[in-house]
Amino acid sequence: MSKTGKSKRMSVEHGTEKVQGGEVVVVGGSAAGLCTANLVARGGRRVRVLEAAEELSPAPRTLIVTHQLQNLVGAPAGECTVNKIRRFELFTNGRSAQVALQQPDLIIERTKLIHALAREAREAGAVIDCDTRFHAVAPNARGLRLEVETKGKREELHAASVVGADGATSRVARSAGWPALETVPLLQAIVRLPKDCPPDTVRVWFVPADTPYFYWLIPESEDRAALGLIAEDGGDASKCLTQFMEKRGMEPLEWQGARIPVYRGWIPVRRRIGRGDVYLVGDAAAQVKVTTVGGIVTGFRGARGVAESILENGKSAELNSLRRELGTHWLIRRALHHFEQSDYCRLVDLLDGSARSKLGEITRDESARLLWEVARRQPKLVLLGLRGLLLGGNSARRS
């Protein structure tokens, strides 16, 4: 008998109705959550998505992703793309370097992405319930019992598996016993695109006195761009970004912000509770590239992995691969996080033609390959990275 046939003979109570195959409940109508729902539903399972908001309409946010998004989600990638990036310009203390991309990065609008993913999940058979807030999960005789609130009314649901896709402050994670995640503020302002900046070029500034990460200017059209940074304190983020705009004669047209989880090591995404399984995906599992604090592509890879695990009795090669990818980003971030201005100047100076060529050829979603190829062409970058790691170790010992 096929696995699908076997699952159809299983049942879990859902109120007074018998749910065939053991229903999977996804908490959170996030990008990773909707992707998980779509994949699990296409695998033959009944899926319900619970979204706390009254409708699937998240706050707009401009995001940049690699072309890998197309390989992961297909048509929705095209529907939400508002611009394409063909080069990066890196700046630090008067120095600069330019990296031309062999395949363009995509500028996407998050609201459009969510709507496209929701449509695909519904077409696959998933049910999406808005205005439904998750409160707790606990074991019962056949699987899991969920306490939820729908349109202000408390009710109880039952499922075989629950997927927490409800962000960095996940209620599912807290209820199932995962520790809280560390987060950092992301703040960006929509500004007029400067006349000297082509709409297919992203600019990045390394200013370690303001942030251990960087500033970015991401064109979303021929006349608008997102200027932002990630800081370690919300007040610092606002102050620094305001000063950065003032120095360059920019004015905010609107503001966008979020709290982003910081990856500090792999978080096991599955927990057995009684006879049921609880999973985490996306920001809830800190599936974020800590080099750039970007989580769209890695969140979708996490969705693939969790769907595989649900459909294949806990097995997932995708999750093992994602763990290695996130670990490499963590290694790079540990080096960069303690760079001083002089280190960034040295970094930009070392990006010769060969190194820039590899940066343009291999995406940041292939971090191990990228790190190896760039280091092979410019070995001095390895020594610079080791210096950053030593600085980090010395800072930790002093602390």
Domain map (residue ranges) of the chain = 3-58+111-181+265-329, 183-261, 335-398
Q: What is the mean pLDDT of the chain?
A: 90
With residue 331 as reference, give the H or E element that holds it: helix 317-336
With residue 82 as reference, give the H or E element that holds it: strand 81-92
Give residue-wise pLDDT tens across range 173-197: 999 999 999 999 999 999 999 999 9
The pLDDT of residue 207: 96
The CATH number of the domain covering residues in 183-261: 3.30.9.10
Do 197 and 217 contact (CB within 8 A), yes or no? Answer: yes
> 184-220 burial, b for 16+ CB within 10 Å, e for fewer?
bbbbbbbbebeeeeebbbbbbbbbbebbbbbbbbbbb
With residue 370 as reference, give the H or E element that holds it: helix 367-377
Q: List Cβ neighbours of 390 (8 Å cut-off, separation of 6 or more).
A: none
The pLDDT of residue 49: 98
Superfamily of domain 3-58+111-181+265-329: FAD/NAD(P)-binding domain (3.50.50.60)
Q: Alpha-carbon distance 33 to 51, whole Å?
A: 10
The pLDDT of residue 14: 35
Is it true that 3-58+111-181+265-329 and 183-261 share their CATH fold? no
The pLDDT of residue 389: 62
pTM recorded for the entire structure? 0.89
Do 158 and 164 contact (CB within 8 A), yes or no? Answer: no
Q: List Cβ neighbours of 353 (8 Å cut-off, separation of 6 or more).
A: none
The one-letter amino acid code at 236 reads D
Q: Alpha-carbon distance 47 to 49, whole Å?
A: 7
pLDDT per residue of the chain (399 residues) written in tens, 0 to 9: 333 333 332 333 333 333 345 899 999 999 999 999 999 999 999 999 999 999 998 888 889 999 999 999 999 999 999 999 999 999 999 999 999 999 999 999 999 999 999 999 999 999 999 999 999 999 998 899 999 999 999 999 999 999 999 999 999 999 999 999 999 999 999 999 999 999 999 999 999 999 999 999 999 999 999 999 998 887 889 999 999 999 999 999 999 999 999 999 999 999 999 999 999 999 999 999 999 989 999 999 999 999 999 999 889 999 999 999 999 999 999 889 889 999 999 999 999 999 899 999 999 999 999 888 888 888 888 777 776 666 655 544 333
The pLDDT of residue 394: 52
The pLDDT of residue 17: 36
